Amino acid sequence: MSSLKGKTVVVTGGNTGIGKEICLNFAMAGSNVVINYLYDEDLAYDLLAHVENMGGNGLIVKGDVSKLDQAQIIIDRAIEEFGCVDVLVNNSGITRDNLMMRMTENEFDSVINVNLKGTWNMCKSVTRHMLKNRSGKIVNIASVVGIMGNAGQANYVASKAAVIGLTKTLSKEFGSRGVTCNAVAPGFIQTKMTEELTEEVKNNYLKQIPLNRFGSSQDVANAVLFLASDKADYITGQVLSVNGGMI
């Protein structure tokens, strides 16, 4: 999408899975891509090389989004390198699945700290910059389970439902300054995270999907790219579900 050429995009958790596909899509669109990561540094450098081989400009920034000071550093580094941040994609997320009776406080807190607090930290860190520029797009990665719930994922579901609420609230706060905030809610997407599930669990999910297939990272990345482009200038506060008709 030509409207993204030359724009600077920050993608948290950008070196693997859905985040990696999002980064590649923006690179193909001609954007400056800032790849945030916390683990798997080699993968981050490999992705940076891929972005640059495609003729794009890239930057990798290590940082823990669950820490506000580190979130601010990610944004500051992007601005230092490219002059601004036009798009923020909050993709970082973890799971610590367990039934409520067995879930530990640490399992609950760690998921909330990354998925929800991390999203808040990044939005907080970019707010002043985007509002001053009177432009910007924020895309938060939520989940279908944040809408429908899911047994064994009380922490993850709570975090993603809260991200949807945060998205809707920020759209109201930022709209008057020309900044949009939307969410993408993926369904069952084939990633390293979902590969760890048993075949029985996967088959049970498949039965719930009218399109009769699992989604790909590219399916999610396409939705993110759309919401970040000028084709979505009049869309804010919305949740775009990418789930094959699951709900």
**Geometric angle at alpha carbon 93, from 46 and 230, rounded to 5°:** 75
Separation between Cα atoms, residue 227 and residue 243, nearest integer Å: 17
- The secondary element (H helix, E strand) that includes residue 36 is strand 32-37
- CA distances from residue 146 to 52, 96, 246 in whole angstroms, order as listed: 35, 15, 13
The secondary structure element, H or E, covering residue 179 is strand 179-186
Phi-psi region of 237 (alpha: psi -120 to 50; beta: other; left: phi over 0): left
Question: Residue 190 and residue 33: Cα distance in Å, rounded?
Answer: 23
Which ranges constitute the DSSP H helices of the chain? 17-28, 41-53, 68-82, 105-111, 118-133, 145-148, 154-174, 192-195, 199-206, 217-228
Burial-class residue 8 by CB neighbours within 10 Å (0-12, 13-18, 19+).
buried
> Is-contact 34 7, C-beta < 8 A?
no
Tokens standing for residue 8: 């600077």
Enzyme catalytic residues: 156
What residues contact residue 163 under an 8 Å CB cut-off, 6+ apart? 90, 115, 116, 119, 140, 141, 142, 146, 183
